[in-house]
Amino acid sequence: MANLYKKDAPFQVLISFKKYLDVLEHIRYNDRLEYRVNYAESLIERTKKFPELRDGFLDETLLEKHEDLIRQILADLFPTGLTHNEIKAASVPLSKTTFNYTERFKSILKDAGKDFEIELRNIGDDEFYVFCCCLILQTYFKRDIKSTMPLYYDIPNRLGIMKHYKITVNSDFIEVYPTEEAKIPSDDVLDMLLENLDDFKLWKKYFPSKSWILKGFTIVSLVDCTSEVALSDLKSSMIEIDPEDLSPDENLVEIFKSYFDVPELNFGLMLFDKKDQKLGRLPIYENVFTHHVLDFWINAFDEETRKNTFTNLNHNSKPIVISNVNKLEENVKSLPSFSILRDNNINSFMVIPIMKDNELLAIMEFTSPQANSFNGLKLKKMEFFTDMILFSLNRFSFEKNYQIEAIIQREYTSIHDSVVWKFRNEAEKYFNASLGKKMYTLKQISFKNLTPLFGFSDIRSSSDKRFNLMLEDINQQLDSLHDIFTMINSDSEKYLLALDVFENELNNEIKADTEQRLQRLLREEIHPYLQGKLEMKADKEIKNKIKDYFLQIFTQTDLFYANRKRPG
Rounded Cα distance, 401 and 423, in Å: 13
> Could you give the count of Cα atoms lying within 13 Å of 446 in the half-sphere of its Cβ?
4
Is residue 518 helix, strand or coil?
helix
Go through the chain and tell me how many residues it has.
568
**Which parts of the chain have pLDDT scores under 50?**
1-2, 241, 243-244, 246, 416-418, 447, 450-461
Question: 21: how many CB neighbours lie within 10 A of its CB?
Answer: 18
Classify burial at 397, counting beta carbons within 10 Å of its beta carbon; exposed 0-12, middle 13-18, buried 19 or more: middle
Please indicate, yes or no, whether the overall pTM of this predicted structure exceeds 0.85. Answer: no
Residue pair 214/12 in contact by the 8 Å Cβ criterion: yes
Rounded Cα distance, 250 and 287, in Å: 9
What pLDDT is attached to residue 546?
87
CA dihedral 126→127→132→138, nearest 10 degrees, is: 140
Residue pair 105/153 in contact by the 8 Å Cβ criterion: no
CA dihedral 482→483→488→494, nearest 10 degrees, is: 10
What pLDDT is attached to residue 460?
43
DSSP codes joined into one string, 116-133: ----BSS--HHHHHHHHH
What pLDDT is attached to residue 25?
94
3-state secondary structure 386-417: HHHHHHHHHHHHHHHHHHHHHHHHHHHCCCCH
What pLDDT is attached to residue 430?
63
What pLDDT is attached to residue 413?
52
What pLDDT is attached to residue 441?
60
What pLDDT is attached to residue 411?
60
What pLDDT is attached to residue 356?
80
What pLDDT is attached to residue 428?
67
What pLDDT is attached to residue 537?
65
Angle at alpha carbon of residue 170, lines to 68 and 23, rounded to 5°: 60
